[in-house]
Amino acid sequence: MHPTPSEQLQAIRHLIKRAQADPELSPESDQLLADAARLLRRLERSWPKRMPFLVDDNQRALRLLIELRPDLGPLAAEISAAMERPPADGEEAAHDLNVELQGLLARAVHVLADDVDGDQKRARIAEHLHHRIAADPALNRHLAERPAIEP
């Protein structure tokens, strides 16, 4: 498909640069356009990585939930339902599944026993979340890419 989403994002950034060249542009408008260009650059870099991240994160979350399922009582049926669902087709479906699985993991934290074994399992969930944050292409960006948004 052409133009690809990445090509379209590049074209939008080019239009922003052209608008910034206007000598009558106010400093405030120039800053807003610069922030928009930074957000687009970030999106350009993260977009192609988004679907592989979601697929991998969904697999990791589901494996962890399957391992924890015997200790999750009331959540076991929901985990089984998530396991039986066909593989997510498309980014929106993968995202929806991701939200559901992360929600199950969040709820699992409260369902696990308040003992050493439960604490170890909660630590595994925390480890999963740390890995997830480190791997999420939408969250990984340099300080220079963050927009200067005024309150």
**Total count of residues recorded for the chain:** 151
User: pTM of the full predicted structure?
Assistant: 0.69
Of 101, 10, 86, the C-alpha closest to 48 is 10
Looking at residue 149, its pLDDT comes to 44
Largest CA distance in the chain: 66
Domain boundaries, the chain: 5-145
pLDDT tens for 43-89 read 777 778 888 999 999 999 999 999 999 999 889 988 888 888 776 67
3-state secondary structure 52-106: HHHHHHHHHHHHHHHHHHHHCHHHHHHHHHHHHCCCCCCHHHHHHHHHHHHHHHH
Work out the angle at residue 9's Cα, subtended by the Cα atoms of residues 129 and 150, and round it to the nearest 5 degrees: 65
Looking at residue 143, its pLDDT comes to 46
Looking at residue 129, its pLDDT comes to 94
Which residues contact residue 112 at a Cβ distance below 8 angstroms, ignoring those fewer than 6 apart? Answer: 68, 71, 72, 118, 121, 122
CA dist., res. 26 & res. 58, Å (int): 45
CA dist., res. 57 & res. 32, Å (int): 34
pLDDT tens for 5-34 read 778 888 888 889 899 999 999 999 999 999
On whether the CB atoms of residues 88 and 94 are closer than 8 A, the answer is yes
